Chain A
């Protein structure tokens, strides 16, 4: 085929230009480390890279939520630990106060300490998370959740609990609402609670009450009324007699699936209430204990009242302690989940980044080799162009 002079020139020139274009692209890849600067180079890869970028960024945002949640849960755990310690101390104080040898003045000192514990608990319940949010106000912002008025603590928060997303499709609960922790622990042994009627005149002291037979226990308030110091009747809420029996001091009364153990001698007309353990706020429990410790115990009946009050306070506090422990355990479980989620996020991050790197990152070894090859090719093209263009028959004329 015939070759024209300008054709020859054009041919070598366009080959050279094409090689320079490739070289520039390789050089850009090497300089940026990115081989996907334009979607045109790999449209599906670019779309995938965009989604991966979004997914990786989302994982980072989970980090932030997770840190905040972790902070709040740790504070909740610490608060529960502190509250548990205070309740343990209150238990010791109650036991001390119930010994027969203790003087009225000493009991007053004990009562002062119980009231102190109560105010410490109130402070714990009003703790904040360091970011301006209360730990135990539920989903209410801008309120002091627990306030005391005339000796009664009331709750201004709500019962809501946020879920915080900490990993794709995984959300964990935020701190418990304060109502759940402080306002609603069960009393008694958590199932049943017995208490002496305030008008009792005998020396009967409740030692324990428990459900022995759940199928027979009606789960309703019942009243154990003494018709004489040795005979009793179990009545329901309407006053109807359900069962009756005889009592010997120190003996156990078993009826309606309930076992009630009494000591001392109840007087005729004395009564003991047995009911499904109600919920009672922990501040009221401590207040009742303090009030009982302060009350005079100069008569056998008053001592029996003290004994009853302290025994009931003791079991209420023990149940509240268990309640706190339960919250602490679930907090711990959530903190574990947080750690697991953090590991999961790290793992996902690595695998997402690996995919992204495969799609987008330059293989430097390969790119450098390519660059060298392209440089060599350009040099060859330049040299041949010079040689070819320099030979002309006109020079020889």
Chain B
């Protein structure tokens, strides 16, 4: 009865095949689904006298059409894609904040210096002075608002990172569990379990970046940043721990399968790696740079303000306040040492964090992000403070050997800059020296401009008289005669004065401190020129350029992240296309298979009918 059993085997095989086709059709839209195929095999025949007669068909295997190499590529590109997506999204946010005129500094910056020009034009006008105070307030407010926006982005990144870490840990646990089930399945694992595991591995890769290594028993090990996240049936755990320098900041560490590991920067890829990279390489430097501009602006402007005399006739006081550089002690410090930091040289000031270490009785400094050693001068006493990159540090208490501190020179400045002087008459628009030309002078020399050359020496100034003995010789306060060359300034103790025109013998010029209610604009002109004065980077760059460079840098980060994302997207699309080429369900193909198996099934049914007819024929013959 081989015909009947052959037909029956075909019916069963094609039923199974059609079941697989319909499983494929049913999962055409299932993410991560890998198409399956029934491999048919002819059943070994039975030997007859005439040789072997076939005995039908059997399902040899249910094949899951996946390619391990393509999968590895896909996992790899998912991690990179995830990293670049986060980097690009958040860099774009930062770029938007810095380039949008509604949130950027450029508009209030320009307005402030416009208002300062207004004071130059009308130094005595309370309206012009009030406008400058208001513009200064707006500038400081915008500075703080921008910093708050950046801090907000940072908080969002931290929160997102925390939730991604949760998801990644969940995925790692699930992969370990699936590994267990798959290993238990032996040599014929459930293909749908394999799909689920592959899907989770890909998701995990998109969060942390991953490398996969398959074990002989079918378990899949997942490594990230060189550390095992999943090893067989065990899963590691990512944690966000407080930074030992600043508890409000979080650092990522891994309880790897082999034990806890601190993850170096750049170890992770994927979305979490992208978020970390954005925070450490884009956001924090941008905030530090914003703070550096704030510090440079406030310090330079205050210095200019102190060099002048305000409308009440008193020496100018600080107009802006800006927080001092921040120093955090390491949580594990055992000494009582503290460091008090202040900005000593705006031109040398840099943004990035610095780690200071006290060891063997001496201090050393390294760049926090790279570990590169930095030159450190001074001993740390109040008279000879530690000096590094424009910051002076005075050591208080007794540091213990091995104590560490982190110096964040400018990070806090942008969020803390404030206008502290709201009285318009306190703008020190006037130069501190008034020159009086004696009424009886016969020469036509006029004072063209007096300025302070040394504020410390000038502090004791109470007045001076310049007498010309003859046309080329003068004395200061009846001191020794000094030769005068036209065009060369006359220099006194802490001040200098230029004369226009030619003095003659007997001419006298009297210098005094500028009295109240002066509409002199000498100092206001210096203030209004601060936007174009080279104060950054050793005096090579002005603040307007510095601010535009900040925008350019954020824009450039966003641009590169965007371009890399586009490139990675293309690579990823290719990996996906390759996966789909092998593993994706094509409905037309399935329709054709369905048709094929259906026809074969019908034919097999016909074989059974024929066998039945044969049987009936035989029965009929016997009955007669």
Contact = CB atoms under 8 A, between A and B. Distances in A.
Interface of A: 1-7, 10-11, 14, 37-44, 46-48, 50-51, 53-54, 57-58, 60-62, 64-65, 68-69, 131-133, 139-143, 158-165, 171, 179-180, 183-184, 186, 276-279, 392-394, 397
B435 to A, nearest CB: 6
B525 A65 contact: no
B170 interface: no
Contacts of A69: 121
Contact of A40 (B92, B125, B576, B589): B92
Contact of B525 (A5, A133, A163): A163
B584 to A, nearest CB: 2
A50 B547 contact: yes
A160 B435 contact: yes
Interface of B: 28-29, 35, 91-92, 95-96, 98-100, 104, 106, 109-111, 113-114, 117-118, 120-125, 311, 430, 434-437, 439-442, 446-447, 449, 515, 517-522, 525, 528, 531, 544-545, 547-549, 551-556, 558-559, 562, 573, 576-577, 580-589, 591-592, 594-595
A27 to B, nearest CB: 18
A53 B449 CA distance: 32
Nearest to A11: B577
B588 A133 contact: no
Contacts of B434: 139, 158, 160
A183 B29 CA distance: 98
Nearest to A62: B117
B587 A165 contact: no
23 contacts: A2-B580, A3-B581, A4-B584, A38-B92, A38-B96, A38-B558, A40-B558, A43-B553, A43-B555, A62-B117, A64-B118, A65-B121, A132-B125, A140-B519, A159-B447, A160-B434, A160-B520, A161-B446, A162-B519, A164-B121, A186-B442, A278-B442, A279-B440
Contacts of A279: 439-442
Given A58-B113, A65-B118, 12 more contacts: A4-B585, A7-B581, A38-B96, A39-B558, A40-B99, A40-B556, A42-B555, A46-B552, A53-B110, A133-B519, A393-B595, A397-B594
By Cβ-Cβ distance, the 5 closest A-B pairs, closest first, are: A4-B584, A39-B555, A7-B580, A65-B121, A47-B552
A276 B91 CA distance: 77
A114 B573 CA distance: 99
B437 to A, nearest CB: 5
B520 A40 contact: no
A5 B117 contact: no
Contacts, number: 214
B518 A3 contact: no
A54 B547 CA distance: 11
Contact of B580 (A3, A40, A46): A3
Contacts of A393: 587-588, 591-592, 595
A184 B447 CA distance: 15
B113 to A, nearest CB: 7
A38 B446 contact: no
A393 B588 CA distance: 5
Contact of A39 (B123, B439, B528, B551): B551
Nearest to B591: A393
B436 A38 contact: no
A61 B114 contact: yes
Nearest to B553: A43
A141 B446 contact: no
Contacts of B553: 43
A337 to B, nearest CB: 16
Interface hub of A3, A44, A158 (most chain B Cβ within 10 A): A158
B555 A164 contact: no
A50 B548 contact: yes
Interface hub of B91, B123, B435, B441 (most chain A Cβ within 10 A): B123
A54 B591 contact: no
Interface hub of A7, A37, A42 (most chain B Cβ within 10 A): A7
Contacts of A180: 437, 446
Nearest to B33: A6
A183 B106 contact: no
B446 A159 contact: yes
A186 B442 CA distance: 8
Contact of A7 (B435, B442, B522, B584): B584
B110 A43 contact: no
Nearest to A36: B99
A57 B520 CA distance: 24
A165 B106 CA distance: 22
Contacts of B95: 38-40
Contacts of B100: 37
A2 B118 CA distance: 72
Given A38-B555, A165-B528, A61 B548 contact: no
Contact of B585 (A5, A14, A46, A171): A5
A44 B553 CA distance: 9
Given A38-B99, A279-B439, A6 B581 contact: no
A192 to B, nearest CB: 11
A43 B585 contact: no
A392 B590 CA distance: 11
Interface hub of A3, A5, A64, A68 (most chain B Cβ within 10 A): A5
Contact of B587 (A5, A40, A42, A131): A5
Nearest to B435: A159
A218 to B, nearest CB: 11
B425 to A, nearest CB: 11
A397 B121 contact: no
A2 B581 CA distance: 5
Contact of A46 (B311, B551, B582): B551
